[in-house]
Amino acid sequence: MLSTNFVLLIALAYVVILFALAFVSERRAREGHDRLLRSPLVYTLSISVYCTSWTLFGAVGSAARNGLEFATIYLGPTLMFVGWWFLLRKLVRIGHVYRITSIADLISSRFGKSATLGVMVTCIAVIAATPYIALQLKAVTASFEVFNLASDNSEDASIIADTDPGFWVALTMALFTILFGTRNLDANEHNPGVVAAIAFEAIVKLFAILAVGLFVVFGIAGGVNEVFQLPTAERIIYDNELFGWRWINMMVLSAIAIVCLPRQFQITVVENSDENHLRTAAWAFPLYLFLISLFVLPIAIVGTALLPAGTNPDMFLLTLPLSADQDLLALLAFIGGFSSATSMVIVSSIALSIMVSNHIVVPLILRMPRRNLNTSGDIKHLMLITRRISIAVILLLGYLYFHLSGESDALAAMGLIAFVGVAQFFPAMLGVLYWRNATTKGTIAGLGAGFILWIYTSFIPSLSGPGGVLTSLVEYGPWGIELLKPQAMFGLNGMDPLVHSVFWSLGSNAALFVLVSVWTAHRPLEKLQSALFIDVFRNLVGSEAQVMHRQAAIKDLYKLTQRILGPVETHKLFEELTGGELILQQLPPLDARGIATIERRLAGNIGASTAHALVSQIASGETISMDEIIKLVDETQQVVEYSHRLEQQSRQLRATADELRGVNLRLQKLDAQKDEFLSQVSHEVRTPMTSIRSFAELLLNNETLSNEQSRRFIGIIHEESLRLTRLLDEILEMSHLEQGHLQIESAPIDPETIIDRALETCHGLAEQHGAMLISGERATIARVRGDAERLYQVLINLLTNAILYNNNARPWVKVDSQNTGSHYELDVSDNGPGIPETDQVFEKFSRGKQNTANPKGSGLGLAISRRLVQKMNGELTIVNSSNQGTRFRLRLPLLDEDSGNH
SS (HEC) of 660-717: HHHHHHHHHHHHHHHHHHHHHHHHHHHHHHHHHHHHHHHHHHCCCCCHHHHHHHHHHH
Q: With H, G, I as helix, E, B as strand and everything else as coil, classify residue 785.
A: strand
Q: How many residues can be counted in the chain?
A: 902
Determine the pLDDT at residue 159.
Answer: 53
The predicted-structure confidence for 621-640, as pLDDT tens digits, reads as follows: 555 555 555 555 555 555 55
Determine the pLDDT at residue 614.
Answer: 75
In the predicted model, is pLDDT for residue 362 greater than 90? no
Q: With H, G, I as helix, E, B as strand and everything else as coil, classify residue 552.
A: strand
The angle at the Cα of 390, spanning 386 to 391, to the nearest 5 degrees, equals: 125
Determine the pLDDT at residue 677.
Answer: 63
Closest alpha carbon to 544 in 466, 447, 615, 482: 615
In the predicted model, is pLDDT for residue 423 greater than 90? yes
Report the range of poorest mean pLDDT among 514-518, 627-631, 746-750.
627-631
Closest alpha carbon to 871 in 774, 737, 716: 737
Determine the pLDDT at residue 154.
Answer: 47
Q: How confident is the model at residue 504 (pLDDT cuts 50, 70, 90)?
A: very high
Provide, rounded to the nearest whole percent, the portion of the chain with pLDDT above 90.
23
The predicted-structure confidence for 265-324, as pLDDT tens digits, reads as follows: 999 998 888 888 999 999 999 999 999 999 999 999 999 999 888 888 888 999 999 888
Highest mean pLDDT range out of 185-199, 367-381, 787-801, 836-850? 787-801
Cβ(456)–Cβ(169) under 8 Å? no
Determine the pLDDT at residue 853.
Answer: 45
The predicted-structure confidence for 186-201, as pLDDT tens digits, reads as follows: 544 567 778 888 999 9
Average pLDDT, the chain: 80
- Alpha carbon distances (Å) from 496 to 245, 246, 474, 527: 9, 7, 14, 41
Q: How far apart are CA 487 and CA 497, in angstroms?
A: 6
The predicted-structure confidence for 706-735, as pLDDT tens digits, reads as follows: 778 777 778 777 776 766 676 666 666 666
Cβ(89)–Cβ(410) under 8 Å? no
In the predicted model, is pLDDT for residue 422 greater than 80? yes
Determine the pLDDT at residue 84.
Answer: 80
Q: What is the mean pLDDT of residues 531-550?
A: 67
Determine the pLDDT at residue 431.
Answer: 92
Looking at the chain, the number of H-run helices and the number of E-run strands are 38, 9
Determine the pLDDT at residue 445.
Answer: 95
Determine the pLDDT at residue 586.
Answer: 57
Q: What is the mean pLDDT of residues 217-221?
A: 92
The predicted-structure confidence for 760-771, as pLDDT tens digits, reads as follows: 888 888 888 889
Determine the pLDDT at residue 817.
Answer: 94
Determine the pLDDT at residue 18.
Answer: 83
Q: Has this prediction a pTM greater than 0.75?
A: no
